[in-house]
Amino acid sequence: MSLFSSSYKPQVCFRPDRFNPVVLAETKNLKVILACFEAGQAIPVHAPNSDLTATVLEGMGILTAGSEEHHLVPSAWAFVPAGEPRGIRAETRLVCLFAVSPPPTAAEHPTVPTRRQP
């Protein structure tokens, strides 16, 4: 089934306790996620067996990809291949569009902390 939306904004939803992964679409080959972060929330560095394409829609943050850190700003995008360590930390409210292929398993994702430790 095809999907279309004229705007991602109605799906943006933040949680106070952790980042909120809003699943927009999913098949056995691909998962599309609207990732909503409050300032200080993070996905810890991990290395799942999935390719990741990330596009920043709103806000600022830091992407760890391999051994490098990249500053995220609106319209920035990144591709991180399967098996390469990656993590993300929001400096402000941050909204990203993630395309993950294939969808990762629950075992590949560590527990996500509620807030970055100072």
What pLDDT score was predicted for residue 14? Answer: 98
Omega of the bond leading into 102 within 30 degrees of 0 (cis): yes
From the list 79, 83, 17, the residue with the least C-alpha distance to 47 is 83
Query: Is residue 118 very low, low, confident or very high in pLDDT (cuts 50, 70, 90)?
Result: very low
Give bridge partners of residue 90 from the DSSP assignment. 61
Radius of gyration of the chain (CA): 13
- What are the pLDDT digits (tens) for 77-94? 999 999 999 999 999 999
For 42, the token pair is 């993070």
Q: Domains of the chain, with CATH numbers?
A: 26-108 (2.60.120.10)
Write down the pTM of the prediction.
0.89
Higher-confidence residue: 97 or 104?
A: 97
